[in-house]
Structure formats: structure tokens, C-alpha cells
Amino acid sequence: MGLELKNISRTFSGKTAVKNITLSAKQGEIIGILGTSGCGKSTLLRAISGLDTDYDGEIAINGVTSKEINNEIGFIFQEPRLFPWKNVLENVIFGLKGKKEENFRLGRKYLESVGLHDSEHLYPRQLSGGMAQRVAIARALVTSPEILLLDEPFSALDAFTKMQLQDLLLDIWKAHQTTIVLVTHDIDEATYLCDRIVILRGQPGEITSELTIKEQRPRLRGSNQLAELKTEILESLDLNHN
């Protein structure tokens, strides 16, 4: 069970963005996709989510191959993408089917899980960047997805808020054992959060290496083991010139 990509390639107007990507994630695993700009990291996430179907290869979720948008998948983007005319609770439950009272109950449950139980009546313009991204996380969780895709979700936030939301993500993972695929360019973030890190390089992007992180959670930011992993990743990306 889980997520499996087989020989995924994607071409835009004659230019190949990613080439022959084969990757699998077990249930409850946190996979990081790390690479420099332009190597196709976000392209892969869009293919997994069903937002982009014009790729070659196969993507299977729990053994079922499909190019449709899958309700088992939640997506958290770099920007919160909230509706400015809806309040926080309305944003979280947008798109839910079923009875209104049940939707409100679910929305409040997940707002509480991201620390916003007292903010349901606020509007996006009244939120800080970190609060808005918490709303986006609650919205992605409200359907109880088996797989959560994150496309550089904390990159626009200050360092302190980013660390808070990274820990929140781990709390959510621990509670729900969701399979997570995280696209990031932040090596510290990847080593702190992930079980495995897949290195994408080149144009088109191809998998050049894969690292397994064996350090138990909770991890210490800046531990010797994570520092050594960071050095290894920098070398694999040809970025360690100092």
C-alpha cells in the first residue's frame, strides 16, 4: 500500500521537465524531494495529485493506477490560496460535501489541531503568513487524506514560524500516520522532517541519489548526524565549494 511512480516523464512544448522518475513511498513515510530550481520537483507533485495528467508513465495509489484527481490526496501549496471573501472556517470546509453541521464540526476539529480554534471568524486579510498557512494545512487535512503533498509550504515564512509549522506537521503525521511527500529546497528542513530524501538534478530532472535518515524522532536541529547528512547532500548537488 502507498504511492508508486513508474518511469514518470513530463514534456512541456518540446522541453522535458522530468525524465524516467521511479519512486515509491510506504504508508506513513515522509519523503523529501530536494533539488535546485528548475529540476521538476513541483511538476512531479502536480502529476501525483492529478492536477496534471499529460505525463508518461504510471502513478499508483494503494495499487490503483489512475490519472484522475484522487480524494485520498491533500495538497498544500507554497502560498495559502485562501478565498478572501470567506472566513477561516468557510475556507477550511470549502468543497466538502455532506451536512453543513457536520462540515462545521470537522472544520473546527482541524482548526483546533493547527492551533486556530479561536480564529474561525477571521478573514484572510486579518491573518499573518503563518496563520494563513495553518488554515491551508487544516483545509488539506479536513478530508482525511492518506497522502499529503507539500510544495515548499514554509518557504515564504520567517525562520521561527517555519520551525513552528515543521513541528506542527510532525504532530499531524504522528497523529494520522499520513504518507507525506515534501518538495523543498531547504536542506535543513528535509533532514529534520523526512525519512528519505530523493535528490533531483538536471534539466530534465532525474533522480541522482537517495538518502535514508535513520535518526529517531524527535530530532535535534543541527545534530551531528543531520549536519553530516547536510554535507553529503551539498556534495551530491555540487554546492559544497567552501
The answer to whether residue 237 scores a pLDDT higher than 90 is: no
> What is the average per-residue pLDDT within 191-209?
94
Burial of 1 (0-12, 13-18, 19+ CB in 10 A): exposed
For residue range 33-83, what is the model confidence (pLDDT) as tens digits? 998 888 899 999 999 999 999 999 999 998 889 888 888 899 999 999 999
For residue range 92-141, what is the model confidence (pLDDT) as tens digits? 999 899 899 999 999 999 999 999 999 999 999 999 999 999 999 999 99
Q: In what order do the strands lie in the sheet with 147-151?
A: 73-76, 147-151, 179-184, 30-35, 196-201, 206-212
- Give CA–CA dist 88/224, Å, rounded: 41
CATH class of 1-22+30-74+178-242: alpha beta
- Please report the pLDDT score of residue 70 as a whole number: 83
Nearest to 71 by CA among 49, 102, 101: 49
- Please report the pLDDT score of residue 1 as a whole number: 55
- Please report the pLDDT score of residue 240 as a whole number: 59
- Please report the pLDDT score of residue 13 as a whole number: 92
For residue range 95-107, what is the model confidence (pLDDT) as tens digits? 899 899 999 999 9
- Give CA–CA dist 95/111, Å, rounded: 16
Predicted structure pTM score: 0.93
